[in-house]
Structure 1
Amino acid sequence: MKASITTLITSRCCLDLSPAGLIRVVSPFDAVTQAQLRQIRPRGRWNGPARGWEFPLAAAGVLQQQFGRRFAVTAALEEWLAWSRLPLPPLPQHRQLVAAADLKQNLPDGRTPLLHQRSGARWLLARRGAVLADEMGLGKTLTALLAARAMVRCAEVRVLVVAPVGLHPHWRREADAVGLSLQLVSWARLPDALPAAGTLLVVDEAHYAQSMKAQRTAGLLRLARHPRLRAIWMLTGTPMKNGRPSQLFPLLAAIDHPIARDQRIFEERYCQGHWREGKAGKRWEAAGVSQLEELRRLTRPLILHRRKRQVVDLPPKQRQLHPIVLPDDTSIGFDHRVDLVVEDYRRRAQLGEVRSDAEPLAVLTAMRQIAAEFKLSAAEQLLYQLHQQGHAVVLFSAFIAPLQLLHQRIGGELMTGRQRPLERQQSVDRFQQGKSNCLLATYGTGSLGFTLHRARHVVLLERPWTPGDLEQAEDRCHRLGMGDGLTCHWLQLGPADQLVDGLLASKAERIEVLLGPRRQSLERQSLPAMVRACLQVA
């Protein structure tokens, strides 16, 4: 009887490989085993949803020594452990890699890498894990490929690029320009493993992995922690899109930054991590901001963030605010639409269909969408004036319905998430080739990796919630190769727009504290207070 119980427990105990590339210790609850796991170093972390402890691969030896007789090792983990016992040969020294990069040579297509691209390639070659966070439009793709070419010339390495599907043609063109062979995969189809020879992983639009709860983040971390990985270079113009350090943590974990090896400690120190009592019990929250100056100092060696004004002589970008005042009769119609939304939400809250405490945010979102429709007349007039002057214009909105209405009135190119990637690229090509002078796009599609520098004017029907999305949209047009300056027109109607614009300024200030070239102090603003003030005015 005792032997059968022991066999049953052993069959339920194992050391496995988690989706994020950590060692998962699976076992039924046992006070002695739990106490032993807490003593393991490097430290592990209890993963409640997975019902097991998770440890970095560096803890494999201690775990096997402590539990090897009782815990089976799965085949997937055994393969990783076998590779760890046979490490890859060291890479050449930095000066050899830089010499092999041929950074001063012209490319086959006649281009000459710019000074900041050459220095960026040298910076990458000195690091096995790094985040290249240059502003949009500075040519991060070419910078990374120049460094990758040097790596391939000096070592047995294959190049794997993770990028959104819509950017694959751009990566292929740039790779052909530098004479580099690479493999492209999308964020939706990340591989589970890497070949034995060794891989350089280049991750484009790395801000796609800013949530530790997302499956694609786990898939990326699994590749980043793979024993056959040579180096990982993350590319993003917005490493902290919403101004929260919690969004930066997955990127730091992927490059194995020391401060990201313990998520709980990171969240306690930089994200105001704390337990909060709720109806369903305690819940861990880590969405705050703290110790930004210290975080800035510790991350600067592995995050390179340069602004256009620092490294290139681009034409200036300026913003013009267009306040809109509705006529009295139109204003009554606007208020009536908002009242209907409030009444409907409260009715659904009484039926238990929605949360009653989420009413302010729901009303605010509805106000933004309604305001976007009421701004169409002003937007149409502005577009007409710009077209009369011979300008090409890109207009962004977060909502599809206003874009469709505007497209019916003025025509042009319409680009939304309902189109296939090929159709979006065709719309961009027609606009860039001068076949159309107006491109109407949602933030989620038009601001993703496309080059729209033919436009000299960008109209924002309303602003997105995050500074990262705002910069992605505006800087699609403010890029290398543009001629004259860029003017960004902000249409503003009512307190909802004023609130979001204020939030953007507050979040952008946090990002500047972390990534900016100089130290700054941070003046905090309370989001709940701002929302309440907005709704009171409305």
Structure 2
Amino acid sequence: MGDLISDSGSLSCGLDLSAAGLIRVVCPFDAVTQAQLRRIRPRGSWMGPSRGWEFPLAAAAALIQGFGTRFPVTPQLQQWLDWCHHPLPPLPPHRDLVAAADLTMALRDGRRPLPHQRSGARWLLARRGAVLADEMGLGKTLTALLAARAMVRCAELRVMVVAPVGLHAHWRREAETVDLQPELVSWARLPAELPPAGTLLVVDEAHFAQSLQANRTAALLRLARHPRLRAIWMLTGTPMKNGRPAQLYPLLAAMDHPIARDQRQFEERYCQGHWREQRGQRRWQASGATQLEELRRLTRPLILHRRKAQVLELPPKQRREHPIALSDAESLGFDHRIDLLVDDFRRRALKGEVRSDAEPLAVLTALRRVAAEFKLPAAETLVRTLLQAGEAVVLFSGFVEPLQLLQQRLGGALLTGRQRPVERQQAVDCFQQGGEDLLLATFGTGALGFTLHRARHVVLLERPWTPGDVAQAEDRCHRLGMEDEVLTCHWLQLGPADQLVDGLVASKAERIEILLGPRRLTLERQSLPLMVRRCLQVA
């Protein structure tokens, strides 16, 4: 091991495991060795001089044969290779798993699984890697737990659930109804290893792993590639939140989908991947979307996406836009606030504190933040009218300060990321149990996993950038448990900034519809920089 680890503690030469569960090959640069590594199949990726090469575990035999006598192997990688040589026994056939699921039996709390939950559990039991992408509010938690219970009854394994800390109490309550005791871990504390006996991994809010640059994505992929993983089922109502196939890639990689075994090839085919000169450097860009019909066809067997209208008789959801006009005095104040923010940005750009080419987006962000404050009188009037009519209301915003101002004027419960998980749950319980008729929530907190079906009116002070976040917010209230009443979503709209964002949401939603929806659509592409410039010209 003396040649393997440098004085700084990092790998200097050898074969090791990467943070994402790939075989990492690090060695001093040598043209002959580089050429040999390029010929290894399945092929690897060159990650740069400091990180070396990364290969899938399937390339282990070729790497050991070609380099095992030259490069030492870390004990961690050797343990994984030993497990690969001694795999766990196969799981029982699908019919035995379904029989053990007892899908028609009542739960401990008296509920009976709904037909779509029973069919969803059977679908999961037929797959060792899958994405359950039902719309929010269809009970994905119980669906996954029903299938997990069958696996536990038929094989020696444990169930590990990855979920945000704020949802652990919900998972415990649902698990008790099926007599299951899963191990709950948070996204911030994913383990590096799994026990030898085998693990079923259930991943809630799987869209948390939509960026390959995030440490939590690498940690999840490491678990997904672990030799002792029995199956991985990922739950998310928004598998492609921003309408970009690049966000779907980590989930496909976690399932070991064939099209995700070569990242560069995937990005070239489905993400318009290309090299681009940016500030004197060549950078790889892969943020586009193409060949969506083909991607839909190839991923459909492993992604189950059902809508409420398909499986439930829920009352409909309708959206109402509320255009807001400012008085002359308010318009002067609005323009003055924007001018101050733009002048401050340009001053910081001259000092080199921020990038000068980011001005359009900086101005747009300033427009949205200031607009949220100028919409408060209209929001207060709308909410007060609904409350006086005896309605329960949830209001969402991306900014905490407007919510605090509204709470001072209207009262209600506040739900933000600045609160501890127990305080968030207390706010939700207070609203759901009728202690308060108004809940004021940020998108990042209130739209995550909470059930708010008591509300019949959702007010969006402004919209997030992604249709997935919009849907997450609205569908906190449009879900199982509603009575036979229509859910109304109120969109407050002030000026070109809101119109731009709402246009972007609609454009991105079309991409998602092509991949997951039942209908075939034609995508009309829109350039974000062009839309921003148009917005600023109008403003």
State which drifts further: 274-283 or 326-335: 274-283
In the alignment, the residues of structure 2 paired with residue 36 and residue 24 of structure 1 have an alpha-carbon distance, to the nearest angstrom, of: 15
Q: How does 1:370-389 map to 2 (within 5 A)?
A: 370-389=370-389
Task: Note if 1:110 corresponds to 2:110.
Answer: yes
Partner of 1:309: 309
CA change 1:335–1:41 in 2 (3 A) is: same
Q: State whether residues 159 and 202 of structure 1, in contact with CA within 8 Å, keep that contact through their aligned partners in structure 2.
A: yes
After superposing on structure 2, the runs of 4+ consecutive aligned residues of structure 1 that deviate more than 4 Å are: 4-8
Partner of 1:258: 258
Partner of 1:192: 192
Partner of 2:92: 92
Q: Deviation string for 1:403-424 (max 9, x for gaps)?
A: 1111111111111111011100
Partner of 2:286: 286
In the alignment, the residues of structure 2 paired with residue 350 and residue 51 of structure 1 have an alpha-carbon distance, to the nearest angstrom, of: 36
Q: Which amino acid aligns with 1:26?
A: V
Q: State whether residues 462 and 492 of structure 1, in contact with CA within 8 Å, keep that contact through their aligned partners in structure 2.
A: yes
Q: State whether residues 397 and 443 of structure 1, in contact with CA within 8 Å, keep that contact through their aligned partners in structure 2.
A: yes
Q: Which amino acid aligns with 1:305?
A: H
Q: Deviation string for 1:322-375 (max 9, x for gaps)?
A: 000011111111111111111111111112111111000000000000000000
Task: Give the match's secondary structure for 1:451.
Answer: coil
Q: Which amino acid aligns with 1:516?
A: G
Offset, 1:278: 2.3
Q: Which amino acid aligns with 1:508?
A: A
Partner of 2:42: 42
Q: State whether residues 5 and 13 of structure 2, in contact with CA within 8 Å, keep that contact through their aligned partners in structure 1.
A: no
In the alignment, the residues of structure 2 paired with residue 48 and residue 418 of structure 1 have an alpha-carbon distance, to the nearest angstrom, of: 39
In the alignment, the residues of structure 2 paired with residue 431 and residue 423 of structure 1 have an alpha-carbon distance, to the nearest angstrom, of: 13
Partner of 2:208: 208
Partner of 1:248: 248
CA change 1:410–1:40 in 2 (3 A) is: same
Question: How many residues end up aligned between the 2 structures?
Answer: 533
Offset, 1:521: 1.5
Q: State whether residues 148 and 159 of structure 2, in contact with CA within 8 Å, keep that contact through their aligned partners in structure 1.
A: yes
Offset, 1:181: 1.7
In the alignment, the residues of structure 2 paired with residue 267 and residue 290 of structure 1 have an alpha-carbon distance, to the nearest angstrom, of: 10
In the alignment, the residues of structure 2 paired with residue 378 and residue 6 of structure 1 have an alpha-carbon distance, to the nearest angstrom, of: 65
Q: State whether residues 131 and 303 of structure 1, in contact with CA within 8 Å, keep that contact through their aligned partners in structure 2.
A: yes
Partner of 2:443: 443
Partner of 1:508: 509
Partner of 1:458: 458
Partner of 1:270: 270
Partner of 1:238: 238
Partner of 2:300: 300
In the alignment, the residues of structure 1 paired with residue 353 and residue 480 of structure 2 have an alpha-carbon distance, to the nearest angstrom, of: 50
Tell me the percent identity.
Answer: 77
State which drifts further: 273-282 or 466-475: 273-282
CA change 1:7–1:234 in 2 (3 A) is: closer
In the alignment, the residues of structure 2 paired with residue 449 and residue 136 of structure 1 have an alpha-carbon distance, to the nearest angstrom, of: 9
Offset, 1:442: 0.4
Q: Which amino acid aligns with 1:512?
A: E
Q: How does 1:321-470 map to 2 (within 5 A)?
A: 321-470=321-470
Q: Deviation string for 1:238-280 (max 9, x for gaps)?
A: 0000000000000000011000000000001000111111234
Partner of 1:165: 165
Partner of 1:155: 155
In the alignment, the residues of structure 1 paired with residue 132 and residue 288 of structure 2 have an alpha-carbon distance, to the nearest angstrom, of: 25
Structure 1 residues not aligned, in runs of 5+:
none
Q: Which amino acid aligns with 1:523?
A: E
Q: Which amino acid aligns with 1:518?
A: R
Q: Deviation string for 1:206-259 (max 9, x for gaps)?
A: 000000010000000000000000000000000000000000000000011000
CA change 1:137–1:13 in 2 (3 A) is: same
Q: State whether residues 4 and 72 of structure 2, in contact with CA within 8 Å, keep that contact through their aligned partners in structure 1.
A: no
In the alignment, the residues of structure 2 paired with residue 164 and residue 6 of structure 1 have an alpha-carbon distance, to the nearest angstrom, of: 37
Q: State whether residues 161 and 185 of structure 1, in contact with CA within 8 Å, keep that contact through their aligned partners in structure 2.
A: yes
Task: Give the match's secondary structure for 2:276.
Answer: strand
Q: State whether residues 4 and 12 of structure 2, in contact with CA within 8 Å, keep that contact through their aligned partners in structure 1.
A: no
State which drifts further: 14-23 or 271-280: 271-280
Q: State whether residues 274 and 284 of structure 2, in contact with CA within 8 Å, keep that contact through their aligned partners in structure 1.
A: yes
Q: Which amino acid aligns with 1:344?
A: D
Structure 2 residues not aligned, in runs of 5+:
none
Partner of 1:520: 521
In the alignment, the residues of structure 2 paired with residue 439 and residue 427 of structure 1 have an alpha-carbon distance, to the nearest angstrom, of: 8
Partner of 1:28: 28
In the alignment, the residues of structure 2 paired with residue 6 and residue 379 of structure 1 have an alpha-carbon distance, to the nearest angstrom, of: 63
In the alignment, the residues of structure 1 paired with residue 190 and residue 304 of structure 2 have an alpha-carbon distance, to the nearest angstrom, of: 25
State which drifts further: 119-128 or 105-114: 105-114
Q: State whether residues 92 and 155 of structure 2, in contact with CA within 8 Å, keep that contact through their aligned partners in structure 1.
A: yes
Q: State whether residues 323 and 491 of structure 1, in contact with CA within 8 Å, keep that contact through their aligned partners in structure 2.
A: yes
In the alignment, the residues of structure 2 paired with residue 12 and residue 321 of structure 1 have an alpha-carbon distance, to the nearest angstrom, of: 59
Partner of 1:136: 136
In the alignment, the residues of structure 1 paired with residue 377 and residue 409 of structure 2 have an alpha-carbon distance, to the nearest angstrom, of: 10
In the alignment, the residues of structure 2 paired with residue 103 and residue 263 of structure 1 have an alpha-carbon distance, to the nearest angstrom, of: 39
Partner of 2:62: 62
Partner of 2:489: 488
In the alignment, the residues of structure 2 paired with residue 520 and residue 294 of structure 1 have an alpha-carbon distance, to the nearest angstrom, of: 13
Q: State whether residues 13 and 70 of structure 1, in contact with CA within 8 Å, keep that contact through their aligned partners in structure 2.
A: no
Task: Give the match's secondary structure for 1:510.
Answer: helix
In the alignment, the residues of structure 1 paired with residue 479 and residue 91 of structure 2 have an alpha-carbon distance, to the nearest angstrom, of: 34
In the alignment, the residues of structure 2 paired with residue 503 and residue 18 of structure 1 have an alpha-carbon distance, to the nearest angstrom, of: 37
In the alignment, the residues of structure 1 paired with residue 166 and residue 47 of structure 2 have an alpha-carbon distance, to the nearest angstrom, of: 35
State which drifts further: 44-53 or 212-221: 44-53
Q: Which amino acid aligns with 2:403?
A: L
Q: State whether residues 275 and 283 of structure 1, in contact with CA within 8 Å, keep that contact through their aligned partners in structure 2.
A: yes
CA change 1:173–1:270 in 2 (3 A) is: same
Task: Give the match's secondary structure for 1:73.
Answer: coil
Task: Give the match's secondary structure for 2:89.
Answer: coil
Q: Deviation string for 1:30-50 (max 9, x for gaps)?
A: 000000000000110111275
Q: Which amino acid aligns with 1:373?
A: E
Q: Which amino acid aligns with 1:112?
A: R
In the alignment, the residues of structure 2 paired with residue 354 and residue 193 of structure 1 have an alpha-carbon distance, to the nearest angstrom, of: 40
Offset, 1:518: 2.4
In the alignment, the residues of structure 2 paired with residue 108 and residue 214 of structure 1 have an alpha-carbon distance, to the nearest angstrom, of: 39
Q: State whether residues 452 and 477 of structure 1, in contact with CA within 8 Å, keep that contact through their aligned partners in structure 2.
A: yes
Q: State whether residues 398 and 443 of structure 1, in contact with CA within 8 Å, keep that contact through their aligned partners in structure 2.
A: yes
Aligned residues: CA RMSD: 1.5
Task: Give the match's secondary structure for 1:469.
Answer: helix
Task: Give the match's secondary structure for 2:112.
Answer: coil
Task: Give the match's secondary structure for 1:272.
Answer: coil
In the alignment, the residues of structure 1 paired with residue 400 and residue 105 of structure 2 have an alpha-carbon distance, to the nearest angstrom, of: 46
In the alignment, the residues of structure 1 paired with residue 453 and residue 50 of structure 2 have an alpha-carbon distance, to the nearest angstrom, of: 47
Offset, 1:529: 1.3
* TM-score, normalization by structure 1: 0.98
Q: State whether residues 3 and 12 of structure 2, in contact with CA within 8 Å, keep that contact through their aligned partners in structure 1.
A: no
